[in-house]
Amino acid sequence: MITVLRLSLPLAIWLASFSGVYGLHGLMCSSRWAGPPIGLSERGLLIGAAILAIAVQSLCLVVLRAPKWRDPDPAMRRIGLALAAIALVAAIWTLLPPTVLASCM
């Protein structure tokens, strides 16, 4: 069961961060958006959410490399690390557009 968690956790984190950042972007573009908290701009809030998501994804990669979380099967360990690296690249690639491009086109 732990092996399934090791294999699915990086992709689940990517999915949650993708949904969260794009959901925040959609909320900011809606007519019900009251504005960002005091001291933040909308772009700053999106950039902060994207950086937080990428940091969590990087932390997942580091944790999966730790000896405590290593799988006894070397093939499963390599697959888990590969999935974590792919999910990190996917997080960077998919969270770049809402932070760089103009909002609410």
Q: What does the CA dihedral 42, 61, 14, 32 come to, rounded to 10 degrees? A: -20
Structure tokens at 76: 């499963």
pLDDT for 28? 84
pLDDT for 31? 78
Q: Would you say the C-alpha torsion 11, 17, 20, 25 has a positive or negative sign?
A: negative
* 38 secondary structure, DSSP code: T
Residue 71 has pLDDT above 80, yes or no: no
The structure tokens 């949650």 sit at 16
pLDDT for 29? 83
Query: Mean pLDDT throughout 8-20?
Result: 94
pLDDT for 16? 95
Whether the model pTM is above 0.75? yes
Query: Mean pLDDT throughout 59-64?
Result: 89
The structure tokens 């070397």 sit at 74
User: Is residue 98 a contact partner of residue 17, using CB atoms and an 8 Å limit?
Assistant: no
Confidence of residue 86 (pLDDT cuts 50, 70, 90): very high
pLDDT digits (tens, 9 = 90+) for 29-48: 887 777 777 777 888 888 99
